[in-house]
Structure 1
Amino acid sequence: MTIPAAREAVLRQTADTLLTARRTASPISDLPVALHPATEAEAFAVQDVMAEAYRPVAGYKVGARSPEHEPFFAPMPAAWMGENGALFRGENHRLRGVEAEICFRIGTALPPRALPYTRDEVVAAIGSCHPAIEILESAYNDPTSVSRECMLADLQMHGGFVAGPAVPNWQTIDWSQEQVTLSADGAVRVENTGSNPGGSDLIRLLVYLANEGATRTGGLKHGDWITTGSWTGVTWTSHGTEVVANFSHAGRVSLQFASEKL
């Protein structure tokens, strides 16, 4: 979808407003009405402007509202990524929302091309599979109170990412039967089985990203991280909390938020 130049200028103002709110840790209640993205395409255009400001991008979060819905995705800045067990601190970790996810790392680049990549080609390009935790943050005081398009524009609430160890023989895992727990300071907050809203076919999401998503990503690059949607919904935590996601076959990953004193 082509966005008229005049509308592009408005959407750049939208991106500037969201970037300022995030960078200064001064959340807003909502965007001015004149700056609201009217469609998903406009929301994604705002994401792309924000991605330029946060470069380099080291991967993408991709998901779908159901197994039948078309996927959607947002960029993940490299600066917001941490090692397994990392400590996250600072004013930009205000909401401290977390989700347990399954992610993949691209081993062989998939540059844009006219002929769509097949499922087998995408699978062959995957270097490894990992358990992951995504941190959710926002430019909004309460991101659940704004429109879906406004939420999508704000990098789909992305605020950080940690991956655990690579999963051996991940191709043998039946994701429809995979169990997961999400714990905060040792207390299990969520326990689910086969609970990704986009369904158990996680590769479908990567095929979409490699093909239809290539116009925005410029193609998937060697080393890109692709995380494929929440298995636990959003769990809101607090200062000093240690978060652990544990999958029955895909393994364990953790992170910690700094205490207020740090």
Structure 2
Amino acid sequence: MTPEQIAAAFRQARQAGTALDAYPADELPASLESAYAIQETAIDAWDDRVAGWKVAAVQPAFREKYPAERLAGPVFSRTVRQGGETAAEVPVIENGYAAVEAEFAVRIARTIPPLPADADPASLLPYVEGVYAAFEIAASPLATLSALGPGAVISDFGNNSGLVLGPRLPMTVLTEPSSATAVTEINGAKAGEGGAARVPGGPLAAVLFLARHLAARGRSLNEGDWVSTGAATGIHPVRPGDAARAVFNDTHVVSAVIVRAVS
């Protein structure tokens, strides 16, 4: 199947709110390049603008075939929601893949230019407007997407279906990641805990990866873009009817209620 056909299968399933039984091709993307080619095709065909990007780790077991430590996927404007103490309603596809990840979301203040080879994460601080408590909504029409590995994940928007934003956090999250904690609860029970130090190199390292990655694709991180920097407490499966809540630094709350997607 062509990249256009694979992208169309995922797009149509997302738009209809229906699950897929299998990956919509006989073979998975053979490389990072082929996976991102499908993603670019899907972005071009999607009826919404890119408002940011999610960053996630590539698990070590997959790095021989897909030689990268991180991957990226788009976050679209209509899927960015506010959800502090008042929970945001988040639609997911029944019988598809759905999980929430407590994350430190960085908002970009101005376009990040091409970076020198020796740039380090701290050099990006002047380009950051702030850092916020957030949930990434990792979701796809395909329940097995994550298990199939990075090629499949990248090809379906990086397994992203939105971003729920909570309150602004202190900038020390970025300069001292070990000082920033997070705890996630699903339906009132603790599901995971961790913090900014759980993101390899801290959240700014994820932004640095993304800036370089997008530049290689002819894109950039621009004013107002969001970067969901990686799971801080783990990946927590959810389904319609579940309530998710994360508390950052013991005081800052982001919350969401999971509902069934309809066409």
Q: Following superposition of structure 1 onto structure 2, how do residues 242-257 of structure 1 map, counting pairs within 5 Å?
A: 242-248=243-249, 251-257=252-258
The change in CA–CA distance for 1:135 and 1:212 in structure 2 (over 3 A counts) is closer
| Contact preservation (8 Å) 1:13, 1:35 | no
Q: Provide the alpha-carbon RMSD of the alignment.
A: 3.0
Match of 1:75 in 2: 74
> Do 1:128 and 1:167's aligned partners in 2 also have CA atoms closer than 8 Å?
yes
Gapped regions of structure 2 (runs ≥ 5): none
**1:195 and 1:232 in contact (8 A); partners too:** no
CA contact (8 A) 1:62 1:71 kept: yes
On the 8 A contact 1:164/1:252 being kept in 2, the answer is yes
8 Å contact kept, 1:21–1:139: yes
Corresponding letter in the other structure for 1:58: A
Q: Point out where structure 1 has 5 or more consecutive residues left out of the alignment.
A: 1-8
Deviations 1:147-185 (A, max 9, x none): 431122111211111111111343576323533210123
For residues 102-122 of structure 1, the C-alpha deviation after alignment (integer angstroms, 9 at most, x for no partner) is 1100011224x4856944542
The aligned residue for residue 161 of structure 1 is: 163
Q: Which moved more, 1:179-188 or 1:126-135?
A: 179-188
Q: How far 1:66 moved relative to its partner?
A: 7.5
- Separation in 1, partners of 2:123, 2:24: 44
Contact 1:11 1:35 in 2 (8 A): no
Q: Supply the distance in 2 between the matched residues of 1:93 and 1:167 (Cα, whole angstroms).
A: 34
Q: Percent identity?
A: 24
The number of residue pairs the alignment matches comes to: 250
Please report how far the alpha carbon of residue 128 of structure 1 lies from its aligned counterpart in structure 2 after TM superposition.
0.4
Q: Secondary structure at the match of 1:165?
A: strand
- Aligned pair in 2 of structure 1 residues 56, 45: CA closer, same or farther (>3 Å)? same
Distance 2:152 2:2 in 1: 14
Per-residue Cα deviation, 1:172-228 (whole angstroms, up to 9, x for no partner): 7632353321012322121235563x4143212212222332233621111000011
Secondary structure of the structure 1 residue equivalent to 2:2: helix
Post-superposition shift, 1:145? Answer: 4.2
State whether residues 97 and 141 of structure 2, in contact with CA within 8 Å, keep that contact through their aligned partners in structure 1.
no
* Residues 117 and 207, structure 1, Cα contact 8 Å, conserved in 2: no
Partner-residue secondary structure (3-state), 2:176: coil
* Pick aligned residue for 2:43 from 41, 51, 68: 51
SS at match of 2:136: strand
- The 1:28–1:240 alpha-carbon spacing in structure 2 relative to 1, beyond 3 Å, is closer
Moved more, 20-29 or 38-47: 20-29
Structure 2 CA distance, aligned partners of 1:259 and 1:34? Answer: 29
Please, which of 19, 32, 45 is the counterpart of residue 27 of structure 1?
A: 19
- Conservation of the 8 A alpha-carbon contact between 1:132 and 1:161: yes
> Displacement of 1:27 after TM fit?
2.0
Q: Which amino acid aligns with 1:252?
A: V
Greater alpha carbon shift after TM alignment, 81-90 vs 225-234:
81-90
